[in-house]
Structure 1
């Protein structure tokens, strides 16, 4: 456990710590995951000469000190404070500069904000499965024109109007991030009628390459009709919970037995931890993302870009690349001025570093050795 100086005792997994003066890599997990999510690539990265550190992030796993109730102060879960968590951790470990910060799913924007806010500390960034389109923009030249925001962020009127319009579809739908932001999601999932382990098995399965229904492609616009093309685990039936949604795609016993990337022992690690802690700590991150009060504060960095070397990794079966129309292109062409590579990996869905760990580790090492040799 590491005191990060920002109110947390952070539980970490690490590899390559036995040899001093190695460059450090920090791995940031997403939802609903843990530091354990990086178990398959930590040793390959360490064997390549790095000290690899993966924390349970704020509100997750065995990291303590965070208030994780629904009525917690959400300022603790904003991106600037999550950056403080990572910055405090690497400082406590004795590093003034980190070779790369690598984030997956919700860890991807945390890694991106680390890179944007403290490029003096983080020498490169790898974003995985969730593109980062940049800080929300200030409305420009409104003193003279009826100008709109330059970029559509998730709490902009365009996106929120499209989400609201989902309720008028036939059948009515709702966006999962707004469901996750509500008061019932934690209990729905923690006390899933099929059992927590079976819920997580279905959730991980349906977002992986194992589920044959995943055929991601860019959406044409930010509209309810286009958002409704996303799978039900992103745009849900209005009266459904997440356990009900993924239960329809529960893998068979034969499929479970054949799932080498997530064994029953692996699943038990996740189920045991989330049974103990619940999901609300991670869900509070979503609440900051869907509440304009918290996203508005990020306009302090409007027009700022990520100028350190960057790349993006995802599975070819991952809808997360396209769930927010325009973000993937904005990341490559606007948000990152030193963008080096996109790696879309065959045979992987959303859980890319677990589904195809060897390829992911190779792509990261290629980036660090050839594309962005910062150490």
Structure 2
């Protein structure tokens, strides 16, 4: 790891600072903060996904600080300037499991001297960490906002099985079926579990900067091929309707996949939500650390090794106030068929609203930060505004 003192400055908006917090569940946690100048503010926590950083919340942090909050956004385990995690494919995979990521989040909250925070807000894979934080510790997290990745609930326990023959877990045939399609395909999450995935992206022929530019563009509303809709089932025929950043060509890696959708020089110059200078910071960070830290999250999620631990909360639902925000042009809402509906019908019992923002793809808090900021401010005011006034 490069010493923090030798790393370049982060191109942060005025009012946001970068700092380190020691001994957070074995990590030296790098965090961004806004609203830190006034004492006794309530806190909100922002959790990024893949392949992003705390920096990707930069345009949402100031509106939340202006609403009266101490806003904390960490580089999560495996990312950015946070250190103390194992970067090797064959290393400590268990440290990246969901329950330990929740422990990381609790460590951040405690390190800043809070018994509870008004909201934990997560995007993409950070949405999963936010959901599990809310499920496991509703006493600490008073509300939850999920972005772009719906939460369908804890995995079920085997039920009414005492008098039945012991059965092996059913094999998921969808991967064999995807490979057997006339246009052979593979699921991106299973690709992300392979040893080669990090190398393909970190050593992309076009360079990390161009790789990330194409990746972010292809999954944004700037790519005009986005027209997502609810899929009928978890089947090869249905999944194959999604773009190739989700259901990839069998013989292509992710760098080659997104290279086909590299935006033009004029489109890059016109991009206001991710100017090239901001992207340069992100690409330099991933060029330095690689992508394996984030890919470990996918390996844990897809491994049956950690499923039994999550079954401790089988049948439990998120009972704190909840909000869902995503881009209207985001396939992430529908990539797990039925999850969006399950989240609203049972997994979250106090869902205030689900907002799909037009003009945003997967990177909703970056593509449309003003709309996201307004929705977050309104939700938090509805939940806590009157209470704050009484205090």
Q: Give the alignment's Cα RMSD to 1 decimal.
A: 1.6
What is the alpha-carbon distance in structure 1 between the residues aligned to residue 345 and residue 176 of structure 2?
Answer: 29
Partner of residue 60, structure 1: 79
**Distance (Å, rounded) in 2 between the aligned partners of 1:81 and 1:37:** 23
Q: Secondary structure of 1:189's match?
A: helix
Of the three residues 338, 346, 363, the one matched with 1:326 is 338
Seen in structure 2, the aligned counterparts of structure 1 residues 98 and 4 have a Cα distance that, compared at 3 Å, is farther
Match in the other structure for 1:139: 158
Give the direction of change, closer, same or farther, for the CA distance of 1:5–1:200 in structure 2 (3 Å limit): closer
Tell me by how many angstroms 1:281 deviates.
Answer: 0.4
1:115 equivalent to 2:137? Answer: no
Verify: 1:24 aligned to 2:36, yes or no: no
Question: When the two structures are superposed, what TM-score results if normalisation uses the length of structure 2?
Answer: 0.91
Residue 338, structure 1, aligned to residue 353, structure 2 = no
Deviations 1:271-328 (A, max 9, x none): 1000000000000000001111112321111111100000100000000000000100
Structure 2 residue 109 is the aligned partner of structure 1 residue 51: no
TM (norm. structure 1) is: 0.95
5+ unaligned residues in a row in structure 2: which ranges? 1-19
Instruction: Note if contact 1:227-1:235 (Cα within 8 Å) is conserved in structure 2.
Output: yes
The reply on whether 1:285 has 2:304 as its aligned counterpart is: no
1: CA distance, partners of 2:115 / 2:173 = 43
Deviation of 1:145 after TM superposition, in Å, equals 6.3
- Which 4+ runs in 1 deviate beyond 6 A? 145-148
Q: Deviations over 1:1-20 (max 9, x none)?
A: 11243100100000001100
Find the counterpart in structure 2 of residue 232 from structure 1: 244
Alignment of 1:199-214 (within 5 A): 199-214=211-226
How many aligned residue pairs are there? 368
Q: Check the 8 A contact 1:316/1:345 in 2, yes or no.
A: yes
**Equivalent residues in 2 for 1:349-364 (5 A)?**
349-364=361-376
Partner residue in 2 for 1:10: 29
Partner of 1:171: 183
Instruction: Provide the rounded CA distance (Å) in 2 between the counterparts of 1:370 and 1:5.
Output: 32
Q: Tell me the CA shift for residue 246 of structure 1.
A: 0.6
Aligned partner of 1:83 in structure 2 is: 102
Task: Find the counterpart in structure 2 of residue 190 from structure 1.
Answer: 202
Hey, what's the Cα distance between the residues in 2 that align with 1:157 and 1:74?
A: 24
Structure 1 SS opposite 2:278: helix
Report SS of the residue matched to 2:258.
helix
